[in-house]
Amino acid sequence: MSLIHEALRQAERAPVTGTQNSYNPLSAPLSQANAARSPLVILGGLLVCAAIAFVVWPLPESDSALAKPITQELKTSAIALGENVVTTPVAVKTSTAALRLDPAAQAVPASSFGEFGSSAAMADPALNAAPAPAIQSRASVIQDSKSLWQQQVEQAVATGDMEQAEVVLKQWLGAAPNDPVPRGWLARIYMGKGLYLAAEPLLNNPVDTESQALLGLVYERTDRPRLAAELFEQLYRLNPKHGRWLLFWAINSENSGQLAKSRTLYQTYLTLFGSEDEALTRFSQQRLTSIGTL
């Protein structure tokens, strides 16, 4: 090992001969290939730097700086046109209220249609037309005609022209067959002519006292005294102050063979209504005398 160490020390002390390899890349001349490639490397480096700067460059907190010039430009244009325009910033913060539709804001002003009127009128021109006259209903026509028919009947009866009255009443009944007024009047005309059976259908299902009394007279004149007595009894019980119903009840009770009952009814009439009508009082007294002798 001593021989080896001695050889190494001698080698370290020996002078260095030959060319030293001391390469400096900045001062050493470049080859033709390296010289052509260096501008492209520089340009690529610049592009990469620009891209990195664009990505990492901090954005402004709001674009009000951009909105200001645009808003100012709109205001300038509005002033130049002589309009009163209210501008809004370009950047608008979204909120729940902004998502709601305002019907008033969506409406189209009528003035935008000029002389043609509203939007509804534009959609349907028939809305601008004059309303058509209302068609008068049949019931209204009949109601308006009733007063005329009644006047004509009263005039005909006053002059004794029963045929004309009958013609008008039939016309009235043709338009209103269930009206009790013309039915009762026409029944009276028939009864005045002795046409009791012709009058009876007009008095069926009477709705008022007068029609019931006329039907009772029809029963009496057509030899149905029991039916007449029952009907006049109903009328008298409904209106006990009407002495005529009591007297008709007594008469038809007598005609139907109910003598004891009829006697009581005649006596009741004389007691309650003996002073009202002298002729009817005399008649009642005569009937009591006749029944007593039977």
What average pLDDT is seen over the chain?
72
**Cα 116 from chain centroid (whole Å):** 29
Q: What is the pLDDT confidence band of residue 142, given thresholds at 50, 70 and 90? A: confident
Q: Is residue 233 within 8 Å of 249, Cβ to Cβ? A: yes
Q: Is residue 284 within 8 Å of 254, Cβ to Cβ? A: no
Q: Which CATH class is domain 140-222?
A: mainly alpha
Q: Which part of the chain is CATH 1.25.40.10?
A: 140-222
Q: What is the pLDDT confidence band of residue 56, given thresholds at 50, 70 and 90? A: low
Please name the amino acid found at residue 31: S
Q: What is the pLDDT confidence band of residue 206, given thresholds at 50, 70 and 90? A: confident
Residue 221 has pLDDT above 80, yes or no: yes
Domain 225-294 indexed as CATH 1.10.10 = no
Two tokens, residue 220: 């009496």
Q: Measure Cα distances from 207 to 156, 202, 211 in Å.
A: 26, 11, 7
Integer Cα distance of 226 and 251 in angstroms: 10
pLDDT for position 117: 39
For the range 174-178, what are the long-range contacts, defined as Cβ-Cβ under 8 Å and sequence gap of 24 or more? 175/142, 175/145, 176/142, 176/146
The better pLDDT of the pair 36, 290 is held by: 290
Three-class secondary structure of residue 208 per DSSP: coil
- Surface-to-core class of residue 140, CB atoms within 10 Å of its CB (0-12 exposed, 13-18 middle, 19+ buried): exposed
